[in-house]
Amino acid sequence: MNNDRSSSTGPGAKSAGPQCSVRIEARLALPHPILGQRAIAAMAGPGVSMQWRRVFNVLAVAIVCWPLAANPGTELPDLGNTAATVISASEERQLGQEFMRDARGKLQFVEDPELLAYVNALGQKMVANSDAATRDFQFFLIQDPNLNAFAVPGGYISVYTGLILASATESELAAVVAHEIAHISQNHMARMLESGKRMSLPAAAAMIGAILLGGQVGAAAIATTNAALLEKQLSYSRGFESEADAIGIRTLAESGFDPLAMPAFFKEMERRTRIYDSVVPEILRTHPLSPNRIAESEARARQYPSPPPIENRAYYQAKAKIRALFSDRPRDAVRIFAENLARHNYADESAERFGYATALLRTSQYEEALQQVELLLQAAPRDPSFRLLKGQIIANNGQFLQALQWLAAATSEHPDYGPLAQYYADLLVRTGNAAQAKPLIRNRLKQEPNNPQLWEIRARAAGETGETYVAHQSMGEYYYLLGEIEQALAQFETAREHTGDSFYASASIDARIEEIRAENRDKKSRN
């Protein structure tokens, strides 16, 4: 069995393929709801001053990138007990929501429901064993080959596909997630803001620039400010990293993962920095890991017992699916999967075969894909991910009735497997069975109210069944979650025109419009 780090479809790959589960091809001509061009385009594709809230918006990104600061100190600074009063939990949540909506316009978020379900399941497992077990967290996946992850206020944590591929074990991936959760649980945002209030705004802005930009630009920023004061602030950042390492290792151990995975991943990143400097992510070049940080994390990790190795097929399956969906050379990916299976070059055979079938599906080789998924089902006939994959293959091959029957049975047996219900509901709408899809969509939205794809499916289902108000209202929520505020407001305005004599519907839409406008005004006042 070979280490996954040697895979030739590793984090350097860029995608030219779909972001989400492979959908029915364009050759399937089905009617769209009457939502106008916006909907069709969507289906294709008083505690803090204004000054300091502006600083906080940028600071939120600066202090939580992985790994952020070099040479963390072993002693953490005493910031007192007032930091938590600088910004409230609700304000953090609002700022985080705004950031994530804006980020959707700048980063390529993965929409595949299975990959998102895996990342969220791993994240929630870590949260349950952290100092923030009672707080709300949401996890995202970004299609990007770099080794990176970040957290923003309110418990929003994003992981890059490149980082997942670079991890050799689930414990290594969990180590990064635990580190990011620790930034949130230890209130590093509020504590950094509290320390920053002792500085002038220009000095704080320069500090943030130094952290974000690093290198010569960061050095220039340092030169224009009080160097001693700036160094103190940067040492807080190093202290936060050290604290996040320590708290993260504890969370890792209490979640049943190997605590030594954190220093192991540090060592791997250091190796990449040393040997592959030309392709190493920018964040590792501007903020290199230090021997002290690695040594400290290893010493901390050795204080905990190492559990027996965890063989989580979902981890290997997620890695295989990322390789299959996001390789910039889909047919090469098919070949590599086939070669790996023939040579027994894999960490988990079923996961590799799952990736192979997914790659075959992506390249429209339906018969071969079906053969591979049938082999998977022979070994695990009730596995919901294998059953979903078979349904996708059948549907993409044009056998819609058979696909619907297969997915109906699978969904009935696995009602809580969100990815299966979402794909089945989408297929129902696309094949003219929107009324049948509505209960599925309603149930999933109760579980995942922040899933934009579910709102888009609901919009199409409502449009197909003549519920124009619901269709536009759903598209409004879809655009809102994507950060496209003007489009969201336009859809809500149109929805209001179709409320008829329903006072409740009209009042609900008016309240939602005012809520979004108030958020937008508040955001603009901070920028």
Does position 225 have pLDDT exceeding 90, yes or no? no
β-pairing, 138-142 with 156-160?
Answer: parallel
Task: Identify the pLDDT of residue 460.
Answer: 98
Task: Identify the pLDDT of residue 35.
Answer: 34
Structure token pair of residue 340: 């790996």
The whole-angstrom separation of Cα 395 and Cα 397 is 5
Q: Among residues of the chain, what percentage have pLDDT more than 90?
A: 54
pLDDT digits (tens, 9 = 90+) for 174-184: 999 999 899 88
- Confidence band, pLDDT 50/70/90 cuts, at residue 154: confident
Lowest mean pLDDT among 123-132, 161-170, 217-226, 228-237: 217-226
- Confidence band, pLDDT 50/70/90 cuts, at residue 293: confident
Task: Identify the pLDDT of residue 189.
Answer: 66
Task: Identify the pLDDT of residue 323.
Answer: 98
Task: Identify the pLDDT of residue 294.
Answer: 86
Task: Identify the pLDDT of residue 210.
Answer: 44
Residue 258 neighbours by CB under 8 Å, 6+ apart: 169, 171, 252, 306, 307, 309, 310
Structure token pair of residue 514: 């005012």
The whole-angstrom separation of Cα 291 and Cα 365 is 49
The whole-angstrom separation of Cα 140 and Cα 149 is 10
Instruction: Classify residue 5 by its DSSP letter.
Output: G
Single-letter residue type at 26: A
Range picked from 45-54, 208-217, 455-464 for highest mean pLDDT = 455-464
Task: Identify the pLDDT of residue 11.
Answer: 33
Task: Identify the pLDDT of residue 237.
Answer: 67
Task: Identify the pLDDT of residue 65.
Answer: 46
Q: Is pLDDT larger for residue 473 or for residue 49?
A: 473
DSSP of 96-156? HHHHHHHHTTTS-B---HHHHHHHHHHHHHHHHTSTTTTS--EEEEE--SS--EEEETTTE
Does position 349 have pLDDT exceeding 50, yes or no? yes
Q: Is pLDDT larger for residue 148 or for residue 65?
A: 148
| Sequence ranges of the domains in the chain | 47-301, 367-526
Structure token pair of residue 499: 């409320």
| CATH architecture of structural domain 367-526 | Alpha Horseshoe (1.25)
Average pLDDT, the chain: 78
